[in-house]
Amino acid sequence: MGYTLGIDLGTTFTAAAVFRDGRAEIANLGERASAVPSVVFLKDDTTILVGIPAERRAVTEPDRVAREFKRRFGDTTPIFLGGTPLSADLLTAKVLRWVYDTVAAVEGSAPDSLALTYPANWGPYKRELLDQTVNISGLHGARTLTEPEAAAIYYSTNERIDPGQVVAVYDLGGGTFDAAVLERIDDGFRVLGKPEGIERLGGIDFDAAVFAHVTGALGPEMDQLDPEDPATMAAVARLRLDCVEAKEALSADTEASIPVMLPSLRTEVRLTRGELEDKIRATIAETVEAMRRALVSAKKTPDEVTTFLLVGGSSRIPLVADMLTSAFGRPIAVDAHPKHSVSLGAAIAAADSPVGAVPVVTPPSPSVEDAAVPAPRKKGVLVLGLVLVAVLIGVGAFVLPRLGAGNGEGTAATVTTTARQAPVTQPVTATTLPPQPSEPPSEMCGELITSDLTLGEAVANCEGDGLVIGVDGVTIDLGGQLVSGAGTVGTVGIRLNGVTDVTILNGTVSGFGHGVVVENGGGAVLDSVVSTAHRGSGLLATGPDTVVTIVDSEFSANGEAGATFNDGVSATSRTSVFSNNRGTGLGLSGATVSLNGDTIDSNSGAGIAVIGSENQSLSTDLLATGVTLRGNQTGVFFLQGGQGTVEQSLIDGSSESGVRLLDAGEVSILDNQLSKNAQGIRAQSGTLLARGNVIVGSGLGVALEGAEANMTDNEVTLSEGNGFVVTGGVVVMTDNESSRNGGFGFEFGSGATVTDGGGNTASGNSEDCSQVCLISIS
């Protein structure tokens, strides 16, 4: 489905929006907030992180961080990051490209057209430079327009503004204030007079006012803080964030409490809206004056202005509207998401840009890289920098075909998840199909088997099904032979429909739509069977009372999943291999599966996907014992109510999480070793018990983002970033150990309710946090 993209590259925050079917929507760029900080971090390998990951690294490596570089746009003196000179316009190009790729990945396709915004006071030099910047980022043909124009365009889609009418745009952002007066013309808006701006006036100042209130209330304690002590600094950083939250809360509430969790002092400081307003009134008065000057410059009186349009995150502060109303006595309009008005307007404006100016994109693109930053993007960067994108691709890669649904067509059915965004449709084509048969098909092709059978020769090149089992209780010994198909969609290598107690032994099934299908209450034992190179799944089991037992078999290199268990199936597998499949190694939905000693590796999707069924009466339950999961996208992914236990297993080298919970049921992760995963365990929602796991060498050790979690006796060590990060949910932590990680041992965000069960230790973490950083534990 086509869409257009609008990007607002702000001084402190960057936001994006998409427009399709006459509707503009905010595009999520970050995990916790849709807008991301306009911050970049240059990694050692010269790749670049954008947004929150960059911000996070700023604490430990401030010399590699650039922020507010929009103020430096056009400055010929470079910005030095880690000793490398980079121009502000190059950094801008990188952020721009990052936003573009992020949205394109979420949407599953490149936008039809793109518009981005710039400050109204930019002259011809910066505008020209911006055009060059757009070209550097490989997005030729993007439309550019001023920020107030975009905001006015967005407003005018909801409210009628006739040509000749005048709108005043009051844009109070994080770090800057801009005031502009615009007149509606036939094909948009034009800026009247000279827009006014106040450099260095914005939300940051209000944050500082709240912080000053807190430090004032704390008194001399604050002056005795040791700026060299990492734990203290982390606590102060936390306090600053809490101040920001308090400020935001006071836009809706009349009072807020700010938790203070300094090493030497734990208390709360109260702030009322009235107090905050007193602190910021003078500053807002300055913005009102600037607005007045903009009106004078535009030769308009307030009475001639149809609406004062409030834009920018800080314009939500109620005092702003109050003061503007009393100053100008005109209607005030403020959107529910004033931070996004500009990007939303840009997305709409992009739809008006000429067709043919469509940038071509293959996300993520190496074309952003240039002489100054020559190394190509590595996967690791994507993991940290593009978490959201990777997540969504991950969801899309769960391919759970359902029989009779035209599966195997080369396009994948997608699982509808409760993820915040629509899942991406990821085209999947089997690349491992056998060559077109030159031999004629065997006579046995499609034969209905009604008694025990041992193959003496191959059943090859079948154009339809291979073998169809017609009665209960038969044993098919493939005799080491090959049953192969012509790769025809909809065909099945061995089909069991409703027949039970069937045993299939010792042979290879290859090149059908699906390999082995067991359905409608069928029952089968697969022993030493290899099912490979099918368009769809190696094994597909579905239907109530269907029972499958797998022993020493292999399901590999299939176009979709290695094995799929749906809708009431119960299955066990022992010492089998599920590898190199284009979808998941093994997927279950509404099925009960137990694994013992299996190997699940190198699948493009998750190693095991445990997905709750739409049919509430069917539970989805996994028991995996002694399983080896290696090199999958996510090791084990529980979502949509999927539940189960993974124990005594090895989960290694996942490009995303080792174990992940998203809307999961009850999940137990016991006594496993998780090594070298991008995140060891990531729990966004669901119920998690993690006990006795050793989590080594992850990007992030354990990330708890909203689940109800009991973390006991886990050891997290040698992570690239933090050991434990808790940003949400209700968490009990007991006897965990976090050591030698690159970030904090433990980091707790204020969104989480954490109970310290005692016995948690941290040691030898990065130099800035060699001890437990219990920041807001309660």
Shortest Å, Cβ 7 to another protein: 22
Q: Residue 21 or residue 44: which is nearer to another protein going by CB? A: 44
Shortest Å, Cβ 246 to another protein: 16
Q: Residue 125 or residue 325: which is nearer to another protein going by CB? A: 125
Shortest Å, Cβ 52 to another protein: 15
Q: Residue 86 or residue 99: which is nearer to another protein going by CB? A: 86
Task: Give the other-Cβ count within 10 Å of 336's Cβ.
Answer: 7
What is the spatial distance between Cα 312 and Cα 339, in angstroms, rounded to a whole number? 4
Q: Residue 40 or residue 204: which is nearer to another protein going by CB? A: 204
Q: Residue 124 or residue 758: which is nearer to another protein going by CB? A: 124
Shortest Å, Cβ 122 to another protein: 8
**DSSP strands (E only) in 28-150:** 36-37, 39-42, 48-50, 65-67, 79-81, 84-86, 113-118, 143-146
Q: Which two tokens stand for residue 126?
A: 């910066």
Shortest Å, Cβ 425 to another protein: 41
What is the spatial distance between Cα 316 and Cα 319, in angstroms, rounded to a whole number? 8
Residues contacting residue 755 through CB under 8 Å, at least 6 positions apart: 730, 731, 732, 733, 777, 778
Q: Residue 77 or residue 616: which is nearer to another protein going by CB? A: 77
- The DSSP call for residue 227 is T
Residues contacting residue 476 through CB under 8 Å, at least 6 positions apart: 449, 452, 453, 454, 455, 467, 469, 494, 502, 503, 504, 505
Shortest Å, Cβ 248 to another protein: 18
What is the spatial distance between Cα 737 and Cα 681, in angstroms, rounded to a whole number? 15
Q: Residue 27 or residue 235: which is nearer to another protein going by CB? A: 235
Q: Residue 59 or residue 321: which is nearer to another protein going by CB? A: 59
Q: Residue 171 or residue 715: which is nearer to another protein going by CB? A: 171
What is the spatial distance between Cα 338 and Cα 147, in angstroms, rounded to a whole number? 12
The C-alpha torsion from 585 through 589 and 593 to 596, rounded to 10°, is 30
What is the spatial distance between Cα 703 and Cα 656, in angstroms, rounded to a whole number? 12
- The DSSP call for residue 711 is E
Shortest Å, Cβ 658 to another protein: 32
What is the spatial distance between Cα 395 and Cα 425, in angstroms, rounded to a whole number? 9
Shortest Å, Cβ 12 to another protein: 12
Shortest Å, Cβ 770 to another protein: 18
Shortest Å, Cβ 130 to another protein: 12
Q: Which residues bind another protein (CB under 8 A)?
A: 58-59, 62-63, 65, 68, 72-80, 83, 85, 121-126, 128, 196-200, 204-205, 208, 211-212, 225, 227, 233-234, 236-237, 239-240, 282-283, 286
> Residue 406 in 3-state DSSP?
coil
Residue 323 gets the label, from left (phi > 0), alpha (psi -120 to 50) or beta, of alpha
| Torsion angles phi and psi, residue 558, rounded to 5 | -95, 155
Shortest Å, Cβ 644 to another protein: 42
What is the spatial distance between Cα 458 and Cα 334, in angstroms, rounded to a whole number? 73
Shortest Å, Cβ 572 to another protein: 54
Q: Whose CA is closest to 67, among 41, 100, 47? A: 41
What is the spatial distance between Cα 522 and Cα 714, in angstroms, rounded to a whole number? 41
Q: Residue 191 or residue 709: which is nearer to another protein going by CB? A: 191
Shortest Å, Cβ 71 to another protein: 8
Q: Residue 233 or residue 650: which is nearer to another protein going by CB? A: 233
Residues contacting residue 57 through CB under 8 Å, at least 6 positions apart: 41, 49, 64, 65
Shortest Å, Cβ 223 to another protein: 9
Q: Which two tokens stand for residue 719?
A: 């992570």
What is the spatial distance between Cα 694 and Cα 701, in angstroms, rounded to a whole number? 10
Q: Which two tokens stand for residue 757?
A: 């069960």
The answer to whether 524 and 543 are in contact (CB under 8 A) is: no
Residues contacting residue 232 through CB under 8 Å, at least 6 positions apart: 225, 226, 262, 263
What is the spatial distance between Cα 325 and Cα 718, in angstroms, rounded to a whole number? 56
Residues contacting residue 202 through CB under 8 Å, at least 6 positions apart: 11, 12, 172, 173, 174, 175, 176, 177, 312, 314
Q: Residue 174 or residue 590: which is nearer to another protein going by CB? A: 174
Q: Residue 197 or residue 757: which is nearer to another protein going by CB? A: 197
Shortest Å, Cβ 55 to another protein: 10
Shortest Å, Cβ 62 to another protein: 4
The answer to whether 761 and 749 are in contact (CB under 8 A) is: no
Q: Residue 234 or residue 381: which is nearer to another protein going by CB? A: 234
Q: What string of H, E and C letters represents the secondary structure of 499-538?
A: CCCEEEEEEEEECCCEEEEEECCCEEEEEEEEEECCCCCC
What is the spatial distance between Cα 27 and Cα 115, in angstroms, rounded to a whole number? 14
Q: Residue 230 or residue 408: which is nearer to another protein going by CB? A: 230
Q: Residue 59 or residue 730: which is nearer to another protein going by CB? A: 59
> Residue 375 in 3-state DSSP?
coil
H or E segment to which residue 588 belongs? strand 586-589
Longest C-alpha distance within the chain, in Å? 96
What is the spatial distance between Cα 318 and Cα 250, in angstroms, rounded to a whole number? 9
Shortest Å, Cβ 290 to another protein: 9
Shortest Å, Cβ 98 to another protein: 21
What is the spatial distance between Cα 280 and Cα 674, in angstroms, rounded to a whole number? 50
Q: Residue 212 or residue 471: which is nearer to another protein going by CB? A: 212
Q: Residue 72 or residue 676: which is nearer to another protein going by CB? A: 72
Residues contacting residue 275 through CB under 8 Å, at least 6 positions apart: 213
